[in-house]
Amino acid sequence: MPFNVINNPEVFERVRRLQIPFNRYGLDRYGISQEHLANVFTVFRPFYERYFSVECYGLEHVPGQGRGMLVGNHSGGIPVDGAMLLSALFFDKEPPRLVHGMVDKFANRWPIVSQWFSRMGQFTGLPEHAVRLLKDDRLLMVFPEGAEGTAKLFKDRYKLLDFGTGFMRLALKSDSPIIPFAFIGGEEAMPVMFRLEKLGNLLGAPYVPVPPHLLPIPLPVHCEFHFGEPMNFEGDGTESDETIQEYIDQVRTRIEALIEKGRRHWRKRIGRGDRERAIEGSTNDTAEEDE
């Protein structure tokens, strides 16, 4: 059972306003729990509003109702971007919306975490789960780079890795618009110098990120979301690999443009300070030592 002592009444009221058919026990057909959502978003709120002081631009491009796939860059050593995207659509979208994520399979091996993920509407990344949610007019967040996206070193920040093709076939199969977005600030909040993969394997994760400050805890850096206009593609998901790749390249190009625009805005917003230059210096020194 969740600890209701951390439940904020204002947050719980927003949970009630979600366009989700909860039953009298506060559960929906997928087992998502109003109480779990309220408790989690109560915890997320100070991180969203103060610790990372997240700002959203182009949020009007996210539909207020109906299905959609939010597709963007993955970054930051640990998936802060996912938690903050959930918070953005919950706290700043009117009416609030719940974003569903497809969780990497390794996370479901963690007993308590896996239960909370499912109660929050974050399910194992299986195609059948995604199609069912989209056809039920839900919002789905997708990071096409996969877990490797958060494993990028700071010297490779904001450089997109190869995209998987599954998300595009899902969008076509479910007739869902793709809303591209860029998350800016995550790479600076958690600048990864190197990865401890053996330690990560012992913990049931792909790796443990190591930043300049050594502890794998994000710094309180201002972050931003930049959303682009919805993209619609024609097809039913059975198109040739060449056609699918052409569609994916269009999405990738749009996200890259949003990243570039977002980084320019982010620099003007906070200035390129000594701390960012110090991070670059420390990570470059580490890279030289590794070579």
Residue at 177 is within a domain: yes
Q: Two tokens at 192?
A: 């990864």
Question: In this structure, is residue 133 part of a structural domain?
Answer: yes
- In contact, 170 and 131? CB cutoff 8 Å: yes
Residue 195 lies in a domain: yes
Token output for 38: 């309220």
Asked if residue 35 lies in contact with residue 6, where contact means CB atoms within 8 angstroms, the answer is no
Examine the pLDDT at 122 and tell me if it is beyond 90: no
CATH number for 196: 3.40.1130
Does the residue 2 lie in any domain? no
Pairwise pLDDT comparison (71 vs 285), residue with the higher score: 71
Nearest to 225 by CA among 170, 274, 269: 269
231-257 pLDDT per residue, tens: 999 999 999 999 999 999 999 999 999
Number of domains the chain is built from: 1
Mention every residue, 6+ apart, whose C-beta is less than 8 A from residue 228.
Answer: 58, 61, 179, 180, 181, 254, 255, 257, 258
Is residue 144 in some structural domain? Answer: yes
272 lies in some domain:
yes
Beta bridge partners of 182: 226
Judged by average pLDDT, the poorest of 25-29, 62-66, 207-211 is 207-211
Which of the listed ranges 6-10, 192-196, 264-268, 282-286 does the model predict with the highest average pLDDT? 264-268
Q: Is the peptide bond before 95 cis (omega within 30 degrees of 0)?
A: yes
Q: Is position 25 within any domain?
A: no
Query: Residue 115: which pLDDT band, with cuts at 50, 70 and 90?
Result: confident
- CB of 154 closer than 8 Å to CB of 283: yes
In a domain, 192, yes or no: yes
Domain that holds residue 205: 55-290
DSSP state of 243: H
Query: Which residue from 89, 114, 84, 113 is spatially nearest to 99, judged by alpha carbons?
Result: 89
